[in-house]
């Protein structure tokens, strides 16, 4: 990610409609699992989500960016510098591991290895909550500025989790209501014929914030009553480590619990 993007993220992530709304959506997934005691935020960025996760249990975060950690350390939560594809945390340590928009990044050399590492540090029966950008054809200026290496399909997300030995319990698109707006924006960018100077991390107008927050709040409610979004800008997945021993470095999803 461009260094100045961390500055912007730290300024807006506590109150920006997108961050708040996506946390509301993530909360509907966390509500489906037993209350976690130990939470690890894999790729905590500037710490906004880590502070929020502290409402559910003891939350610890790590990130490979020193610029991001400089902000996260001010959140008065435990953080350290580490890479998601080589996590310096003991096996079977966490009830919940979260990874919000991390494995898509070009600094993550192997996204499959990253998910395996997240699976490894889960306790038997623990949960992994993953969010990634969806639909590779939606690439735009924002992806350039935040160093996107990959955007995902449903099948790719499911495969990453199952190949890590996890059982997918729920998988849905998100940011669906505003999806047509995102499509139009990306089409406009391509039609302009020049590279963008800024990502989508900007302070929105009051109208944009109101419409965006209402859209994501509605989506959170729909997800809370069991609706699965058929398309969207993001994908969010909840997967569980089986109550089974590791086989070849990953939980054995075929073993009896």
Residue 2, pLDDT above cutoff 70: no
Q: What is the CATH number of domain 3-241?
A: 3.40.50.150
3-state SS string over the chain? CCHHHHHHHHHHCCCCHHHHHHHHHHHHHHCCCCCCCEEEEECCCCCHHHHHHCCCCEEEEEECCHHHHHHHHHHCCEEEECECCECCCCCCCEEEEEEECCCCECCCCCHHHHHHHHHHCEEEEEEEEEEEEECHHHCCHHHHHCCECCCECHHHHHHHHHHCCCEEEEEEEECCCCHHHHHHHHHHHHHHCCCCCCCCCCCCCHHHHHHHHHHHHHHHHHHHCCCCECCCCEEEEEEECCCCCEECCEECCCCCC
* pLDDT tier at 255, thresholds 50, 70, 90: very low
Per-residue pLDDT at 176: 97
Q: Where is pLDDT greater, at 153 or 203?
A: 153
Dmax of the chain from CA atoms? 56
Q: Mean pLDDT in the chain? A: 88
**Using one digit for the tens of pLDDT, what is the confidence trace for 18-53?**
999 999 999 999 999 999 999 999 999 889 999 999
Separation between Cα atoms, residue 233 and residue 219, nearest integer Å:
13
Per-residue pLDDT at 67: 86
**Using one digit for the tens of pLDDT, what is the confidence trace for 41-88?**
999 988 999 999 999 999 999 999 888 898 888 777 789 999 999 999
Q: Where is pLDDT greater, at 188 or 121?
A: 121
Region 175-195: mean pLDDT is: 81
* pLDDT tier at 9, thresholds 50, 70, 90: confident
Separation between Cα atoms, residue 79 and residue 18, nearest integer Å:
24
Separation between Cα atoms, residue 257 and residue 245, nearest integer Å:
9
Burial code (b: 16+ CB inside 10 Å, e: under 16) for 66-85 equals ebbbebbeebebebeebbbb
């Amino acid at each position: 990610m461009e260094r100045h993007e961390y500055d912007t993220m730290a300024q807006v992530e506590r109150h920006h409609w997108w961050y708040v709304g996506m946390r509301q959506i993530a909360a509907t997934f966390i509500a489906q699992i037993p209350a976690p005691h130990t939470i690890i935020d894999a790729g905590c960025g500037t710490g906004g989500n880590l502070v929020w996760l502290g409402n559910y249990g003891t939350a610890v975060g790590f990130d490979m960016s020193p610029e991001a950690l400089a902000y996260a350390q001010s959140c008065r939560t435990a953080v350290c510098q580490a890479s998601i594809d080589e996590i310096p945390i003991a096996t079977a340590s966490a009830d919940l591991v979260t990874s919000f928009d991390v494995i898509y990044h070009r600094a993550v050399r192997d996204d499959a290895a990253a998910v395996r590492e997240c699976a490894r540090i889960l306790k038997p029966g623990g949960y992994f909550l993953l969010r990634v950008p969806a639909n590779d054809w939606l690439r735009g200026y924002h992806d350039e500025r935040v160093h996107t290496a990959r955007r995902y399909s449903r099948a790719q997300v499911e495969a990453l989790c199952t190949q890590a030995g996890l059982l997918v319990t729920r998988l849905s698109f998100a940011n669906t209501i505003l999806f047509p707006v995102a499509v139009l924006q990306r089409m406009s960018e391509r039609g302009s014929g020049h590279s963008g100077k800024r990502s989508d991390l900007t302070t929105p107008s009051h109208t944009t914030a109101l419409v965006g927050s209402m859209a994501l709040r509605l989506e959170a409610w729909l997800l809370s009553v069991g609706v699965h979004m058929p398309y969207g800008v993001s994908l969010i997945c909840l997967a569980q480590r089986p109550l089974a021993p590791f086989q070849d470095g990953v939980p054995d999803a075929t073993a009896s619990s």
